[in-house]
Amino acid sequence: MGQIELPLFRVRGMYFSGTGTTEKIVTTVAEGLARAGSRAEDPEAAACSFAKAPDINFTPPAAREQVYRFEPQDIVTFGVPVIAGRVPNVLLPFLNTLEGGGAMAIPVVLYGNRNFDDALIELRDILEAQGFRTVAAAAFIGEHSFSRVLAAGRPDGQDLRIAADFAKAAAAKIEGLAAEAAGQDGGSGQGQPLHEPVEVDGEEPIRPYYRPRDRQGNHINILKVKPKLDAAKCTKCGICVEACPMGSIKPEAPGVVDGICIKCCGCEKKCPEGALYFDDEGYLYHKTELELGYPERKEPNIYL
């Protein structure tokens, strides 16, 4: 009787990350999943095998001009930041082009210590609608894009350890699903893991985008706020041009935001000269209120 060939899953991360915090979590989970799933210490007990594939960074505008297609043998750790309690609306047209093809997905959102609201359930539903099978999920915390104080330095070492443990648990769940599928198809090794969408926190129907307010309950509108440039500090190095995920800073005018600004603050935080800054009164008020209102350390939410 011939040896059964174990199903091989390709593991990759896929992320949008203006300041690198979402990238850090997604790559940690994807790499940990591939390592944990290799089961090198006990290969005979494994129901499947895992191999790391290249990650996909769709932060640059050009990367979102492609159509990404996946297959049932793919496992994608898929991460986006939370903006106003939701999946960033500027990403929706791109996300709707994804072709999941029956691949497994692990939706991950990263928020700045306030709340992830409905972002995770929204991302899960988007991936399911695009043909992915969500098997695990997580909400992690990263330094808030507006601030260097709110969740400063996160994700930190403790967060990354939690991410690595989450990857091990997700790998074990996927192996269990693969073993169950193999049992149902007579042990041929050709079956696909059974699937129920992972249960996560959030509300359906999805609630409106979070709207910042002052202490009297008045709405603070920062939608059109953009960073300004201190031309005396700018060396025209072009780092901000590369950092802007919306392509709103042109090479011929470094530091000048001339287009959509989602306030990821990648340009401001990555500028080595501190030449970019915000001075809008409402923006600064909201930033201070966030720093004062959410000083406690929040911990990741894990769903398996």
**Cβ(201)–Cβ(301) under 8 Å?**
yes
Strand-strand pairing, 137-141 and 301-303:
antiparallel
pLDDT of 104 over the 50 cut = yes
pLDDT tens track for 220-277: 999 999 999 999 999 999 999 999 999 999 999 999 999 999 999 999 999 999 999 9
Residue with tokens 């932060």: 59
Total residue count of the chain as it appears in this document: 304
pLDDT of 42 over the 70 cut = no
Mean pLDDT of 207-218: 95
pLDDT of 1 over the 50 cut = no
What Rg, from alpha-carbon coordinates, does the chain have?
A: 21
Question: Quick one: fold of 228-293?
Answer: Alpha-Beta Plaits (3.30.70)
Q: Which residue has the higher pLDDT, 89 or 4?
A: 89
Instruction: Say what percent of the chain tops pLDDT 90.
Output: 86
**CA–CA dist 143, 112 (Å, integer):** 6
Give exposure, 229-264, as e/b (b: 16+ Cβ within 10 Å).
Answer: beeeebeeeebbbebbbbebbeeeebbbbeeebbbb
pLDDT at 241: 98
pLDDT of 41 over the 70 cut = no
- Tell me the domain boundaries of the chain: 8-208, 228-293
The amino acid that residue 239 corresponds to is I
Question: Quick one: fold of 8-208?
Answer: Rossmann fold (3.40.50)
pLDDT tens track for 128-182: 999 999 999 999 999 999 999 999 999 999 999 999 999 999 999 999 888 888 7
Mean pLDDT of 110-125: 98
pLDDT tens track for 183-206: 765 554 455 555 789 999 999 999
pLDDT at 89: 98
Do 228-293 and 8-208 fall under one CATH topology? no
